[in-house]
Amino acid sequence: MKFSKIRIRRIVRAVAQRTACRPSIGIICGSGLAPDPSLLKEPVVLPFSDIPFFPIPAVAGHKGRFIFGVWGKKQVVIQEGRLHYYEGLPFDKVLLPLYVMKQLGIGNVFITNAAGGINPSFSAGDIMLVKNHINLMGADPLIGQFSGDRAAHFVDMRRPYDGALIALAKSSARKLRLKLQEGIYLGDTGPQYETEAEVAAFRTLGADAVGMSLVPETIFARYLGINVLALSVITNIYKQRQLALSHADVVEQGSRSAVSVFKLLGEIIGRLS
């Protein structure tokens, strides 16, 4: 990280002093995807505004806080609200929450987000299990990370999403009789929504959904040695002559899908060894 080591130590120490929880699992929440507070035992809520040097999200539907607690028998930390590259933030700030979670001990991260559906067989409200991704953000979070072991910078991204976690997600969805789509996610910067021509081009590339997050977090998580599972809530389907898109609609659809997303995550966490 480009943050100084002194600042990083102060940030991690400030967070660790607020909770005795030492999570093994991190969860990143997308637009409108807030968890039910009753899911966690002994929850500790820590707003980003209470953490020194910490950036605060400026986008609706992203509260900007950590929630620590016990889910089932696992200690977890939930990042409710993410920071985005399109906010004009450098990646060291966008990915700071993930870096802090790693310093606190997570080995697995479950990333959720809202995405536009490119696959015509999808429907708004579907949950897509991300099998792989295409990075068209024109930027990479590892640029400038050269320090220490330079060889560690060249991360193998053939299979960025953990195969065992994907299999567990599929079997958990079957057990819950929850419909789970699968597909390729394409990341672009936003904040504008895609043109019809771009959507057509993305479809020819093999993308099933498109969004403005997930990819940098996945790349950085793999750089840190964290296993990744990603779930995208399909908030709209791109079709000609559709109604105009709005962020309010995206947040609303995310909120409607949150119950199913966290029900699935709860089943996965309960079965995770």
Q: Residues with catalytic annotation?
A: 31, 62, 84, 86-87, 114, 212-213, 236, 247
Instruction: For residues 130 and 184, give the distance between their C-alpha atoms in angstroms, rounded to a whole number.
Output: 6
Q: Bridge-partner residues for 133, per DSSP?
A: 185
Instruction: For residues 81 and 51, give the distance between their C-alpha atoms in angstroms, rounded to a whole number.
Output: 15
Q: Residue 94 corresponds to which tokens in the numbers above?
A: 């966008």
- DSSP for residue 38: G
What SS3 class is residue 199? helix
Residue 236: phi and psi, rounded to 5, are -160, 160
Q: Residue 58 corresponds to which tokens in the numbers above?
A: 């400026």
DSSP H helical ranges for 58-214: 91-94, 96-104, 163-176, 196-204
Instruction: For residues 51 and 74, give the distance between their C-alpha atoms in angstroms, rounded to a whole number.
Output: 24
Whether the CB-CB separation of 19 and 77 falls below 8 Å is answered with no
Instruction: For residues 273 and 265, give the distance between their C-alpha atoms in angstroms, rounded to a whole number.
Output: 14
How far from chain centre, in Å, is Cα 254? 13
